Amino acid sequence: MPDANLQPLVQQAWTALHPVLTSFVSGITGAGVVALVANTWLVARVKGQVESKYARALEVLKAELKSSADARLEVHKAELKRSGDAEIEKLRSQLAAANAERTTLLAALTARRFDAIKTVHGKLVRFHRALAQLTAPLRLNGTDEEALLTAVAEASKEFDESLPENEIFLTEASAQLVKDIRQKLVVHGHLFNFTVALNTQDPQRSDKWAEIDAAVRGPISEAIDELARALRGVMGDKPSDTPAREH
């Protein structure tokens, strides 16, 4: 058992130390609270600074990425434009070359066609004129009929030799008209030769002669005029309102 004499001493000591201990404990508790608050504030501040720093860094990174992406996009656009411009220029060059080639070919074809028209028409007209001179009822005294027959034969031969290589440059309608006229000239040339030139004793010789000459100077001449109008149309002339001449 505790000594009864120590009880008053312990009580006195407690009474004396209690305020000190209370104050000390209170001080310790208050310091802890303050330290806790300070720590919490410090952590929050550091966290805020870190978050702010990373936020700024993130924004800078985003800006750099966007700038880099925009730059690459502009470069890509420029490359596409250059490539597109190059392709367009290449296409233009190809079209220009093709057009120039076509123009050259068309010019050559047109010149060849005009030459063919000139040749065919000229030789056909000479054939017709030679036959018209042969079949003319009124002749000058001393006219050499044999020479007229020879002229018709030569004109016919020249025409027949020129037609095959030039016919392809005529239109189909014009070529057919040329053949029809040529056939009529040949037929009436033979008719004159056999019914007039070689048949001097025929009492109807004069009538046959006049009939042949009327065909040569009438329908055949009109067919040649029609051919001339068709050939001028091929060469680009507009139809004329002038009526065809009468024979």
pTM of the model: 0.61
Q: For the residues of 151-188, what is the DSSP string, one character each? A: HHHHHHHHHHHHHHHHGGGS-HHHHHHHHHHHHHHHHH
Identity of the residue numbered 146: E
Assess whether pLDDT exceeds 80 at residue 144. yes
Asked whether the CA dihedral 135, 141, 145, 147 is positive or negative, the reply is: negative
Are 181 and 149 in contact by the 8 Å Cβ rule? The answer is no
The C-alpha atoms of residue 217 and residue 208 are separated, in whole angstroms, by 14
Assess whether pLDDT exceeds 70 at residue 26. no
Give the tens place of pLDDT for each residue, 163-207.
999 999 999 999 999 999 999 999 999 999 999 989 889 999 999
Give the tens place of pLDDT for each residue, 94-130.
999 999 989 998 899 899 999 999 999 999 999 999 9
Q: What does the buried/exposed string (b/e) look like for 134-170 if buried means 16 or more CB atoms within 10 Å of the residue's CB?
A: bbeeeeeeeeeeeebbebbeebbebbeebbeebbebb
Task: Choose among 163, 152, 147: nearest CA to 189.
Answer: 152
